[in-house]
């Protein structure tokens, strides 16, 4: 007789959200990806990271501010996202915010690398948008 596996819990390794929230994807970024507006700039930034891990170009373009949005996003098929750490986030005005984060990744079989960015966000019509960021 084989042992039964316990059911997956929200936040378990198999269904956990890539954004690092320790919640299951369905209870976390899935709702933003489905069209519900992210309530904060940090929530939007986390959902955008999750979208990068899922190669969800439509979501990324929709949440990119129209003044800085590229025509398309090219994903590196060799890049594997390893994790996200939010360093800091703060409102810079009633409809503006900055979020600093570090995203770790690996390309092919190479060593891990980091993408360290300070991102700027604006809120228009009740929705947050990514504007731009400075990478260090």
Domain coordinates of the chain in residue numbers? 25-135
Q: Does the structural domain 25-135 have CATH classification 1.25.40.10?
A: no
42-69: average pLDDT:
97
pLDDT band at 109 (very low <50, low <70, confident <90, very high): confident
- Whether 72 has a pLDDT exceeding 90, the answer reads yes
Place of tokens 């378990």: 12
Residue pair 99/89 in contact (Cβ under 8 Å)? The answer is: yes
- Whether 11 has a pLDDT exceeding 60, the answer reads no
- Whether 3 has a pLDDT exceeding 90, the answer reads no
User: DSSP states of 10-41 as a string?
Assistant: TT-TTTB-TTSSSSBGGGTHHHHHTTPPPSSH
């Amino acid at each position: 007789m084989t042992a039964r596996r316990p059911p997956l819990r929200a936040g378990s390794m198999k269904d956990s959200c890539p954004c690092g929230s320790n919640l299951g994807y369905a209870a976390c970024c899935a709702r933003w990806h489905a069209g519900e507006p992210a309530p904060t700039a940090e929530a939007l930034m986390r959902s955008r990271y999750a979208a990068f891990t899922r190669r969800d170009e439509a979501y990324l373009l929709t949440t990119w501010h129209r003044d800085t949005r590229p025509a398309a996003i090219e994903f590196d098929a060799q890049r594997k996202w390893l994790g996200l750490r939010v360093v800091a986030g703060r409102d810079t005005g009633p409809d503006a915010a900055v979020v600093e984060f570090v995203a770790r990744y690996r390309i092919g079989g190479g060593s891990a690398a980091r993408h360290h960015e300070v991102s700027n966000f604006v809120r228009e019509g009740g929705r947050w948008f990514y504007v731009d960021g400075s990478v260090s």
